[in-house]
Chain A
Amino acid sequence: MSVARSVSPGGALLRTSRLFSLPAPIPPSPTDASNGHHGSLSATQSFPTHQIITTLASSRRRGDWGLKRPLPLWTTTKSTNAMLRVKQIDTIEDITDFSSATDQGLTLRKFQELHIPLTMPAENTPFDSPRASASSMNLPKRSVFEKDSDFTTLDSVNKTALKDKRWRFQGPWLAGMEPGQFAKWVAKRVRPRRPEFREFLKQKLAADMLQSTSQRAIDNGEPQPELESIVVSDEQLTEYLRRLRSNPKEIYEMVGQFLDLAPLATPQEVENNTGSGNPYSKNGPPVTHPSAGLSYLRTSEYLDNHPLYGPQASHPATLARVIRPRRQNLQVDAKLGLAGFVLDAPTGDTNSNHKFNLRQNPLSKLDVDLKGGAKIWVQPTQASINANGRVSMLAKDASYEEMLIAKEMVGEEKIFGEKPTEPEPEVPVSGTRETVKRQMARKYNPKGSSMSGAPQYGLDDGAFKF
C-alpha cells in the first residue's frame, strides 16, 4: 500500500473542487471538420468533446459560472438553457474561451426522452446503412452495457482473452488507415520496437517449448519443468521466425497481440457478409464507448402506462421531422430528423409507405408552404454508435392508435369521452387499407357521407394527420 501524500488543507480543498474535477476534453471525431476533415466548421460535432457546465439562474444573471471571471451577459443570457462548454479558462488574450453547448446538451435531453437503449451495432452490416439490417429489425439487439461486451478496464491476461469482445485497443485499426498513414506509423511506432518484439516472440516460443517438454515429462513420469528452466537459443528463435513467416495468420496473431491491434475481418468474412469474432472488425472500433454516454438504459422492454387507457403494448409515438423527402426518380431516399439525429425513413409495409398515401405523403412530396416543415409520427426502435462516434437510429411508423394516443396527450386530438359520429358498421379487418380509410372517413366526414378525395395532410401545426 502506498502511503498517502500529505497535502495542505488548501490543496486538499482544491482537489475536491468542481473546477479540478472537470474531465479533460476527449479528441473529436475523425470525421469532424474540427479534426481537419473536410466539412463545415460551424456544424455540430458528432459527439461532445468538452464537459457541459451550467449555473443557477440568479448567478447567470450576474455572469457567474464559477470560472475565473464573470462571462459577458450578452452572449450567455440569451438562451433558455444555461449550458456552456469552456475551452480555456484564461487565454493569453485575457478572455475566457467558451461557447454555447445547448446544441449537444439539448440533443442529449431529447434522446433520453425517447427512452431507447444503445445497442451493439449490427455485426454483419456496414454501420452507415441501417437499412441493410431491416430484415432483422424486429429482433431485439443487445445493450452495450451487457456483461459480455462492456469492458472498460482490462489487464494483460484479459486483453488477449477478450480480443473478440472489447472495443478499445492501443493499436490502430489497419483497415481504416491510408497507405501514407500506415507507412508513417510503421516507421515511427513499429520499427523502433523490433528488439522488444523479438523478446516477445522468445517468451511465446519458451511457453510453447514448456508445453511440449511438460507433456514429455508427463509421459515419462518425470517432474514438471519450470518456465525459467527453458532456454531459447538464437538458432531456435530464428527457426521459429522462419516458421512464422510462412504462416501469415499466425504471425498476424502475434503482431496483433504485441501491438494490440484492433481486429480485422478476413477478406472471406467481408465478402460473404458473415460475422465472426469482434463486432467491430468490419467497420473499426468506435472512438468512444459504444454507448457514447448518451443513455445508460439496458433495455426498452418495459410497459408504458397511460393514465386513462392503462398499460400500453408500445412506447409513445414521437414526432419526426421530414428533412428530405423521397425522390423516386433519382433513387434518393427520405431522411427524418428525430431528437436531433438524422435517420432513414421507415421501410416496409407501413403507413407512410402505403400506395394510397403516396400522392400527398410528406415523405414523397416537399411542401414548401408548410410552416415548420412536414412531420410524421414514428416509433424509434433502436440506436447504436458507429465507428465515427455518430448515432445511427432506426424507427418504424407509428400505428394509427399510437398516433391518436400521442396526439391526445399533447391536446391535438380528443378520443376519451368523444361520441362517435356514426355507428360501427362492422368489425374491420386489422391493419388493412380499408380499415384505416373507414376510420378516417368517420373522423373527417361527420355527416357520414361516402369518402371523397384524399385524406388530409399537413394541417396548420405541420403534423402529418391521417
Chain B
Amino acid sequence: MIIRNIGLRHGRQVIAASASPSCCVRALSTSAAKSATTTPRAPTNVPSFFTTPEQRARQEAIKAEIDKVPDNFKEFRSIQKKTVKMGGETHPRHLPDEMLKYPPHDATLEMLMAAQAHMGHNTSLWNPANQRYIYGVREGIHIIALETIAAHLRRAAKVVEEVAYHGGLILFVGTRKGQTPIVVRAAELAGGCHLFQQWTPGTITNRDQILAQGKLRMVDELDRDVPGFDDHIQDCRPVIPDLVVCLNPLENYPMLHECGLANVPTIGIIDTNADPTWVTYQIPANDDSLRAMALIGAVLGRAGQRGQERRYADAEEGIISWETPSEVRRFVQNTLAAKAQEKKDQARESLEPDGGREMIESDADIKKAIKELTEEEGL
C-alpha cells in the first residue's frame, strides 16, 4: 500500500547493508552446515574513520527510513480504520438476546435444537408419564423429540392467541433465576401480567384477603376506562387470570393446584422429570435452559400479541370478541332501573308521566345504556 516502505518490508538486502551484526544473519539451508560451524561472530563494527562518505550517507538514509516507520505505521492504521467498512460490513452472527429483542412468531426445529430445548434430565430422574415425548437416550440424558416440542408449542401458542383475542387475562410465571426478563417480555408482548417472584399461596383461593388492596378498572372493548362503575368496583372480587403460562411447574405446584381449583387453564413447560398432569397444556422441553425458555416465552408472547391485535382490529369494526360479565350486566340494569324510577318519581311529582324502560337484554343495549349513563353524567 505504501510504496516508500516497500524497501523496508521486503528488503533483506537493505537490512543486510545496515549496521546489523552479521552474526545474526543466517545463511540459507544449503549452507547451513557451514554456518553451524562458523563462529558466532560479534557485530562487524567498522570504526567510523574507515567508512567512506558514501557508505555513511547510505547508512543515514537507511536510518532515516527506519525512523519513519512509526509514523508510517500510524498512517497505515488510520487508513485501515477509514477503509475497513468498504465493500461490506460485518455483523455479529450470534446475538444472545435475540429472542428478547426480536421475538419470533414460530419456533423451527433448528431454533429449538439450538436453544437446547431437546435436552431432558438424567435418565434415572424421569417421570414415565413423559415417555410419549421422549425420542431417545444420549450421553445419559433423555432427548425430547423436536417435532413433539414444536407441535405442542404451536398448540399452546394457539391457546394463548385465542385467550388474548377473547380479552382474557394471561399470567406469565417464571420464578427461576434468569427468567425475569423472559416473563416480563412475554407479558409485555401479550398484554398480560408477569410473576417472577414466589407465588403467594392463596392468591387465587384466598384472593379476597390477599388481593384486597389491588385496584380494578372497568374498560370498554378498546380498553378505555369506563366511568360510572365505582360502586360496582367496590363490590367486585379481585380478578383471577384466564390463562397461566408457567415456565417452571416443578417449583410452582401450589399455583398450579389453585389454578386447577379455580378452573383456570394452564400451560407449562414439562421437562422429563415433571408431572405432565399438573398443567392443562403441556410443552415438553428443557426447562433449565434460559435460551429454551426465552424462545418459548417469545413465541407465546408473540401469539398473545397477535391475539390482542386481532381483538383491537375487530373492536374498531364494532365486533366485540368478549361477553359482558353477568355481574356487570346486572349492575347496569339495576342502575338504569333506579334512574328510570327516579325520573318517574320526578315526572309524577311534576305531573308529566314518562314511559318506563324495557329490560335490557343484548350487549348493544348495554352499550347504548352506558352511553346514556355517561351523557347524563356530563362526560
Chain A residues with CB under 8 Å of chain B are 8-11, 13-14, 17, 19-20, 22, 56, 58-59, 62, 64, 66-70, 88-92, 94, 303, 306, 308-313, 399-401, 404-405, 415-420, 423-424, 427-431, 435, 438-439, 442
**B37 — which chain A residues lie within 8 A by C-beta?**
430
**In whole angstroms, how far apart are the Cα atoms of A442 and B290 in the complex?**
66
Whether A428 pairs with B45 at a CB distance below 8 angstroms is no
Inter-chain contact B146/A13, CB cutoff 8 Å: yes
State the B residues within 8 Å of A (CB).
Answer: 12, 15-16, 18-21, 23-29, 32, 35-45, 47, 63, 66, 94, 96, 109-110, 113, 116, 118-122, 124-125, 135, 138-141, 143, 145-147, 150, 178, 286, 288-291
Bound CA–CA A121/B338 (angstroms):
106
Contact assessment for B290 and A62 in the assembled complex, using a CB-CB cutoff below 8 Å: yes
Q: Is the CB of A94 within 8 A of B138?
A: no
Residues on B with C-beta less than 8 A from A56 are 94
Contact status B32-A313, CB under 8 Å: yes
Q: Are B139 and A89 in contact (CB under 8 A)?
A: yes
The reply to whether A418 and B119 form a contact with Cβ atoms under 8 Å apart is no
Pick from A14, A88, A420: contact of B42, CB below 8 A: A420
Q: Do B24 and A14 touch across chains, with their CB atoms under 8 A apart?
A: no
Which residues on the B side are within 8 Å of A306 (C-beta)?
Answer: 24, 26
Q: Which of B116, B145, B147 contacts A66 (CB 8 A)?
A: B116
How many angstroms between the C-alpha atoms of A430 and B37 in the bound complex? 7
| A9-B28 in contact (CB<8A) | no
Complex CA–CA separation, A9 to B41 (angstroms): 71
Decide: A68 near B24, CB < 8 A? Known: A308-B15, A423-B45.
Answer: no
CB–CB A415/B24 < 8 A: yes
Residue on B with the closest CB to A443?
A: B42
Contact of B139 with A9 in the complex, beta carbons under 8 Å: no
B121 CB to closest chain A CB, in angstroms?
5
The answer to whether B288 touches A69 (Cβ under 8 A) is: yes
User: Which residues of the other chain, B, contact A405 by a CB distance below 8 angstroms?
Assistant: 24
A317 smallest CB distance to B (angstroms): 13
A305 to chain B, nearest CB (A): 9
Knowing A11-B135, A13-B109, A417-B66, the reply to whether A309 touches B20 (Cβ < 8 A) is yes
Complex contact A439–B42 (CB within 8 A): yes
* Residues of B contacting A310 in the complex (Cβ-Cβ under 8 angstroms): 12, 15-16, 25-26
Residues of A contacting B141 in the complex (Cβ-Cβ under 8 angstroms):
68, 89-90
Given A13-B110, A70-B178, the answer on whether A308 and B39 have CB atoms closer than 8 Å is no
Residue pair B28, A311 in contact (C-beta under 8 Å):
yes
Q: Give A10 to B32 CA distance when docked, in angstroms.
A: 60
Instruction: Report chain A residues within 8 Å CB of B150.
Output: 10
The residues of B that contact A435 with a CB separation of less than 8 Å are 39-40
Would you call B147 and A9 a contact (CB within 8 A)? yes
Per CB-CB distance, the 5 closest pairs between chain A and chain B, nearest first, are: A10-B146, A69-B288, A420-B45, A430-B39, A68-B119
Alpha-carbon gap, A287 to B110, bound state (A): 39
Chain B contacts of A309 at CB under 8 A?
A: 15, 20, 24-26
Min CB distance, A329 to chain B, in Å?
A: 34
Query: Is there contact, CB below 8 Å, between A68 and B288?
Result: yes
Residues on the B chain within 8 Å of A311, using CB = 26-29
- Could you tell me if A14 and B143 are in contact, using CB atoms closer than 8 angstroms? yes
- CA–CA, A308 to B18, complex, Å? 10
Q: Measured between alpha carbons, how far is A310 from B140 in the docked complex, in Å?
A: 56
Which chain B positions have C-beta within 8 A of A13? 109-110, 113, 146
What residues of chain A lie closer than 8 Å to B40, measured between beta carbons? Answer: 399-401, 430-431, 435, 439
Taking a contact as CB atoms closer than 8 A, the residue among B18, B28, B39, B122 that contacts A429 in the complex is: B39
Rounded to whole angstroms, the CA-CA distance of A429 and B40 in the bound complex is 9
With most chain A CB atoms within 10 A of its CB, the pick from B26, B32, B41 is B26
Give the CA-CA distance A435 to B40 in the complex, in Å: 9
- A92 and B21: CB pair below 8 A? no
Q: Is the CB of B47 within 8 A of A423?
A: yes
